[in-house]
Each structure stands twice: as structure tokens, then as C-alpha cells.
Amino acid sequence: MEKNQEVETKNGEGVEESKSLKDGSICGYESLHSLLSANLKPEIFQEVSRLLLGLNCGRAIDTIVLPESTKALSSEHDFDLQAFCFHADKELLRAPRVVRVGLIQNSISLPTTAPFLDQKRAIFQKLKPIIEVAGSSGVNIVCLQEAWMMPFAFCTREKRWCEFAEPVDGESTRFLQDLALKFNMVIISSILERDVNHGETLWNTAVIIGNHGNIIGKHRKNHIPRVGDFNESTYYMEGNTGHPVFETAYGKIGVNICYGRHHPLNWLAFGLNGAEIVFNPSATVGELSEPMWPIEARNAAIANSYFVGSINRVGTEIFPNPFTSGDGKPQHADFGHFYGSSHFSAPDASCTPSLSRNRDGLLISDMDLNLCRQLKDKWGFRMTARYEVYAELLANYLKPDFKPQVISDPLLHKKTL
């Protein structure tokens, strides 16, 4: 996107007005990367990128040049399209295991006042060409954002939004199963689930659709936020599916749904179960979490020697009835801006630039999964970790009579003479 000229306007005091709050851009740029690239001298930009994005196999992360016809489709359907490649070192006894992975972020399509069925169908219609571009670009595994099939209405606390919930084999899954089969692609679909066999209970669930259009399994969100307007505990309970890793045709994958990314032990559990890629389908807003966003996933990728694919919703969703945040501030009708910025992190501490902060997008990356074991061999985190010590601490911590292990300076509470 071109630098938005409006950003130059000054307010009464001659202070540059921030456009970021108005259109979701960063001072008129779609992403931090595009802002830096447009404003820094090339040699300085290169050095800044090295520090911000790290190096993969000793050099800046490679981009993949996609065909012009693919780029034309992204223009036609107005979504950001970027493609990268994570390499691994060549091994003597193992062939490279390169998979192509995609992340899709999107805004909702119709206002939240439209009939529910129209809203859902409009999202399907918007996503189809993006998923098709992923499929025709050879993407093996694609992950959609959290609760992609509905507006993120959990801020409202209104129960009528529960109508969007679907069984694991419901309409949204069937829509994606056709695409998975057509493109021989694994699809991770994060939905609001209605478990009809257990009293119509609701869950926040990722459905893993195999490349033959089959349902491999599901995972339910482990950690439910109780922060800001994320009133999700009004709708569903903490998940009961553990930390499953799904062995697919293209590698072992796990799904750490949104708020689970703040819990290092949640990330660890997917790693202990052998995940090679963990997806983090999310819905989060700028004011609350943007400084955390580039750090947590990257840290998880480093600490657990796997790849992470982070996906965030995009846009501002406005609801019919205003609500308050219980903080004494005025009532409002939206969550704030979902800032997109989907990206990949690798076990060697490198990461891709982020997708747009204010537009739909498809991020593609090739990744050689051999990098996971290579980083385990290099850093040995699995060997240097002291699981038995942590296990003992956690077991003690869970006891009602737990006392924190604090050794106080004996002089601290002595009266001075």
C-alpha cells in the first residue's frame, strides 16, 4: 500500500495525527515492516531487519516469488499476499522435509446487524478465493483465524450469538472439507463448537481436516480469557482435550488457540507431545496485546524447537448494542481494532515479516521441518530442561498448604540500632 497522504495532516497544535487508530494502519503503512522499508536507507533497513527478524541459516529469510497470476488474484480479491521460505541445514542421513504452510486472516464481511445466515455465508464467500489461492499455490497446511465463521461477538455477553455454534461436522467443516479434498490440503478450522451429544454444550474448538477431506480430530481451547472485553467465559468452558498433536500427511501439528499463547506450559505441552508446527489462531486487539504479539509466539518457537504460525483477525467489528468493560469508562459497541499481523516464527529464532494490520491476507511459507531437530541438537533445551524439578514444584504448588520457597535476608526485619 502507498503511504497514506492523510497521515501528513497536522492537528491544531501542529502535532502529527496518528492514523493508526482510524484505519488500522501504522501511520499510513500496512505493517511495521513496510513502514521501516519505506523510511530507512536500504543498508540501515537490512540491519534493522536482521535484529527484528533474525537470520535463517545465517542469512535474511528468503522470499518466494509467486506467479503473476496469483498476485493478480490477491489484487482482485483485495488481500495481502506474502510468501517466504525457512531453510534448514543439509543433512547427510535425512532428506529435507519441506512443507508449504499458509495462514489466513480476514475481516468479517457483513455488518453484525445482518441476518446470521447471511453473515456466515458472506464470510464463506470471502474466504473461498483466498483458500483457493492457497490451494493452487501448493499450500499443504492452512490455518484460519479464531472463530473465523462468525463475528467475534463474545464482548457483548449476549447469548443470541450462540446461534453461530456448529457441531464439529457442521456447515463450516463441510465447506472446508470440499476445499481440503480439492487441493489435497490440511485445513485447521477454529469454530464455536456445539457439542450436541453432551447437552448442546459450547466450546472454542479447532477442527483438523485432513488432506483427503476427512476430519482427523479436534482440540478445544484450554485457556479462556478474563481480560478486557474478552468475555468468553460467558459462552464456553476451558477445553477438555489436553494437548493433542495431530500426525498429518505433512507433519505433526498442534493448535494453541489464542489466549493459550500467554501460557508457556501450554506451548510446552504441545512440544512434549512432538509437535513440529503449532498454530495459534487468535482474535486480539491492539490496545490490549500488540506489544506481546511478536514476542510470545517467537519465544515459544525458540523454547520448544518448533515452528509457530500466528493468525489474528483483522478489522473493527461493531455490534448493535453497546456494552461496558466494567472499568468505569464509557460504553462502546466494538472490541477495538483486530490488528491482523499474522506471521511465522521458526525454532532458530527467525521470523517472517507480518501480514497487513488492516487488510485480509494470506501468508505462505515453506519450512524444512528438519530445522526442528537441528535446533534441538544445537541448543539441547529438551536435555537441559529440569522437568523433574518443575514437576516437583508444580505438585507442591497444587497442595493447599504450599509455601513459596522464599529465603529472606535475616537482616531485613531486624531493627537498625
- Binders of ligand URP among residues 65 to 84 (CB under 6 A) are none
Note whether 236 binds ligand URP by CB under 6 A: no
Q: Which of 207, 65, 99, 63 is nearest to 144 (CA)?
A: 207
Handedness of CA 115, 119, 121, 126 (dihedral sign): positive
Nearer to ligand URP, 100 or 357 (CB): 357
* Least spacing, CB of residue 78 vs ligand URP, in Å: 25
Cα distance between the two ends of the chain:
69
Q: Total number of residues binding ligand URP (CB under 6 A)?
A: 9
Q: Which of 280, 284, 341, 358 binds ligand URP (CB under 6 A)?
A: 284
The grid coordinates of residue 212 equal: 483427503
Choose the binding region for ligand URP from 15-23, 212-220, 284-292, 337-345 (rule: CB under 6 A).
284-292
The residue among 276 and 296 lying less far from ligand URP, judged by its C-beta, is 296
CB of 265 or CB of 395, closer to ligand URP: 265
* CB of residue 288 to ligand URP, shortest distance in Å: 5
Between helix 68-76 and helix 116-136 the angle, nearest 10°, is 170
Buried b (16+ CB within 10 A) or exposed e, 334-356: bbbbbbbbbbbbbbbbbbbbbbb
What positions carry a catalytic annotation? Answer: 146, 221, 258
Residue whose C-alpha is closest to residue 315's, from 262, 355, 345, 279: 355
Compare residues 284 and 374 and give the one whose CB is closer to ligand URP.
284
Applying CB under 6 A, among 289, 305, 341, 358 the residue interacting with ligand URP is 289
Lay out the site mask for ligand URP across 188-227 (x = CB under 6 A, - = otherwise): -------------------------------------x--
Please report whether residue 237 would count as binding ligand URP according to CB under 6 A: no
Return d(Cα 98, Cα 100) in angstroms, integer: 7
State in angstroms the smallest separation of the CB of 261 from ligand URP: 7
* Candidates 97-105, 113-121, 266-274, 283-291; binding stretch for ligand URP (CB under 6 A): 283-291
Closest by Cα among 151, 156, 78 to 109 = 151
Which CB sits closer to ligand URP, 253 or 283? 283
Nearer CB in complex with ligand URP: 88/258: 258
Contacts of 113 (CB under 8 A, 6+ apart): 320
Among 146, 166, 317, 368, binds ligand URP (CB under 6 A): 146
30 binds ligand URP per the rule CB under 6 A = no
Q: Does 279 bind ligand URP (CB under 6 A)?
A: no
Site for ligand URP in 245-264 (CB under 6 A): 258-259
Binding stretches for ligand URP (CB under 6 A):
146, 225, 230, 258-259, 283-284, 288-289
